């Protein structure tokens, strides 16, 4: 093992982070090579002959056509390599925004966020650091289909699905749905299923720690826990930690902030887990992708938080994450970071964010109103939803036959695109539908499902 990796492991051994590292995570380090030496030269050298870039009179070469397209950026903001961990000003601005959005967090409660090329990449890097082949990660059922590619196909880990909602939804995919349409008010997370999954996974882990990914607002259901549900999830983790279990909680906060109902938790669950216990390591993966409507710019962040870690340990985790970045994409996109940073600082952004939020909330409310006013065919049941971009239906006939893909195909012939997650769930992105089109879309879903059922 490289001496630099051994040095970083020494800073983490004895902590929850050290106990959870994968074999790859233990091997990762940030080399004192070209990038590190170039950063040192940038601070002190009069003539800098380090990085592989071309300059004239101290400015990077840039085609005039490109310069015109990004006229708001300086050449060094448009074409120069970003630092491996990201543009410093962008990282600090994002941390400040996290403190504002999560006021129960203190500045020393979590690390300086590291920039990664999108939330998908962030989750993948976290899997590299903390998941070995054959280990188990808990995730909601249903969940984002990319988790299986990241955790199972890339890392060889096992995903154990937790039925997200209560027993009226059954215990996972493929079961018959009850008669009727809109879920009764107040039905939410299947906390008993969460507790059972945590206890069973702890028993099977044999001292290797427990790993769970929480995604709220959730994709595909569009659900965020109530305050009471959030408290219950935190208590479950605390009980495990009190018994000496190392717990990794990955908070996939891609849709953070899009909360449409009173009573839901408005801070990230990261703010609870990051300060919970010395045996709990929380990792927040978030970014402006969805929050600030810059999907294609592919900038996101990874932050670490644990009651048991100090600045030196956070620095070691950062360097291991930088090793994962350096050995894959080298660094995240430079102009995307500066464009987003300038957007965050622009005085018009806050007002426009409110307008965009209102637009999405109005679409959400229009969907809710449709479901309340129109009885669903027996083969459809809407999962609880209160936030985010999506809502989903459980699809199945009286014989327990899933029909989501069949329904998707039939809707496509009518000019309406939806997403089938296996044969059980049909996801509808109301964020992408004009408000006046919502009755047409959901009317077609109901009509078509009735025809198939």
CATH code (residue 405): 3.90.1150.10
**Residue with tokens 């994450």, as numbered in its chain:** 321
Question: DSSP 3-state assignment of 321?
Answer: helix
CB 263 within 8 A of CB 223: no
CATH number of the domain to which 313 belongs: 3.40.640.10
Q: What percent of the chain has pLDDT over 70?
A: 95
**Residue with tokens 């899009």, as numbered in its chain:** 258
Pick the last residue of a domain from 330, 345, 360. 345
| Side-chain-side CA neighbours of residue 304 (13 Å) | 29
**Residue with tokens 């983490």, as numbered in its chain:** 12
**Residue with tokens 């409660």, as numbered in its chain:** 109
* 328 and 267 part of one domain: yes
Q: Which residues span the domain enclosing 323?
A: 3-30+84-171+184-345
**Weakest mean pLDDT among 198-207, 236-245, 388-397, 417-426:** 198-207
pLDDT for res 175: 31
Question: What is the rounded (10 degree) CA torsion for 172, 370, 179, 392?
Answer: -10
68 in a structural domain = no
* 228 and 283 part of one domain: yes
Structure tokens at 164: 């997200």
Is 0.95 topped by the overall pTM?
no
pLDDT at 232 over 50: yes
pLDDT grade, residue 251 (50/70/90)?
very high
Pick the last residue of a domain from 345, 362, 390. 345
How many Å apart are CA 403 and CA 381, to the nearest integer? 12
pLDDT grade, residue 318 (50/70/90)?
very high
Structure tokens at 245: 């279990």
CB 227 within 8 A of CB 263: yes
**Residue with tokens 């978030």, as numbered in its chain:** 286
pLDDT for res 287: 97
pLDDT for res 453: 77
388: which residues sit within 8 A by CB, 6+ positions away?
Answer: 217, 218, 219, 222, 223, 224, 255, 258, 431
pLDDT for res 301: 98
Residue 144 CB-density burial (10 A; 0-12 exposed, 13-18 middle, 19+ buried): buried
pLDDT grade, residue 398 (50/70/90)?
low
Q: For residue 267, how many other CB atoms are within 10 A of its CB?
A: 16
pLDDT at 179 over 50: no
* 237 and 121 part of one domain: yes
CB 314 within 8 A of CB 107: no
Positive or negative, the Cα torsion across 16, 19, 20, 26? positive
* 188 and 232 part of one domain: yes
* 151 and 217 part of one domain: yes
Give the total number of structural domains in the chain. 2
pLDDT at 423 over 80: yes
pLDDT grade, residue 172 (50/70/90)?
very low
The mean predicted confidence, pLDDT, of the chain is 92
Cross-strand partners of 158: 136
DSSP summary character for residue 217: S
pLDDT grade, residue 167 (50/70/90)?
very low
* 318 and 447 part of one domain: no
* 308 and 376 part of one domain: no
Best CA proximity match to 141, nearest among 221, 257, 83: 221
pLDDT for res 206: 64
* 333 and 353 part of one domain: no
pLDDT at 80 over 80: yes
pLDDT grade, residue 46 (50/70/90)?
confident
Average pLDDT on 374-387 reads 95
Pick the last residue of a domain from 293, 316, 345. 345
């Amino acid at each position: 093992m490289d001496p630099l990796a051994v040095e970083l492991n020494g800073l983490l051994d004895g902590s929850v982070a050290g106990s959870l590292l994968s074999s790859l995570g233990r091997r990762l380090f940030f080399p004192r090579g070209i990038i590190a030496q170039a950063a040192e030269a940038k601070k002190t050298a009069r003539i800098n002959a380090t990085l592989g870039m071309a300059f004239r009179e101290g400015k990077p070469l840039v085609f005039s056509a490109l310069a015109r397209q990004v006229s708001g950026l300086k050449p060094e903001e448009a074409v120069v390599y970003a630092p491996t961990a990201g543009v410093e000003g962008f990282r600090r601005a994002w941390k400040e925004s996290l403190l504002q959005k999560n006021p129960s967090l203190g500045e020393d409660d979590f690390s300086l966020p590291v920039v990664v090329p999108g939330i998908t990449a962030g989750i993948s890097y976290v899997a590299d650091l903390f998941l070995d082949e054959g280990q188990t990660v808990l995730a909601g059922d249903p969940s984002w289909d990319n988790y299986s590619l990241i955790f199972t196909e890339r890392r060889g880990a096992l995903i154990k699905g937790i039925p997200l909602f209560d027993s009226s939804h059954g215990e996972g995919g493929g079961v018959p749905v009850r008669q009727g349409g809109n879920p009764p008010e107040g039905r939410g997370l299947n906390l008993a299923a969460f507790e059972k999954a945590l206890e069973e996974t702890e028993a099977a882990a044999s001292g290797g720690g427990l790993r769970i990914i929480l995604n709220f607002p959730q994709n595909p259901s569009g659900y965020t826990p109530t305050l009471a549900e959030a408290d219950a999830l935190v208590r479950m983790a605390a009980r495990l930690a009190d018994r000496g279990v190392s717990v990794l909680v990955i908070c996939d906060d891609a849709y953070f902030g899009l909360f449409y109902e009173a009573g839901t938790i408005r801070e990230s669950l990261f703010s609870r887990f990051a300060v919970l216990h010395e045996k709990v390591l929380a990792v927040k993966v978030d970014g402006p992708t969805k929050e600030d409507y810059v999907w294609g710019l592919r900038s996101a962040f990874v932050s670490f938080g644990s009651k048991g870690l100090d600045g030196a340990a956070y620095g070691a985790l950062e360097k291991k994450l930088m090793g994962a970045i350096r050995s894959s994409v080298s660094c995240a996109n430079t102009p995307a970071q500066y464009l987003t940073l300038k957007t965050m600082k622009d005085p018009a952004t806050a007002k426009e964010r409110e307008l965009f939020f209102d637009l999405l909330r109005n679409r959400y409310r229009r969907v809710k109103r449709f479901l309340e006013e129109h009885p669903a065919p027996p083969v459809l049941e809407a999962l609880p939803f209160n936030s985010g971009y999506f809502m989903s239906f459980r699809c199945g006939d009286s014989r327990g036959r899933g029909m989501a893909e069949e329904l998707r195909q039939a809707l496509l012939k009518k000019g309406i695109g939806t997403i089938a997650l296996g044969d059980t769930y049909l996801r509808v992105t109301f964020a992408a539908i004009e408000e006046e089109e919502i009755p047409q879309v959901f009317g077609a879903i109901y009509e078509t499902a009735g025809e198939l059922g």
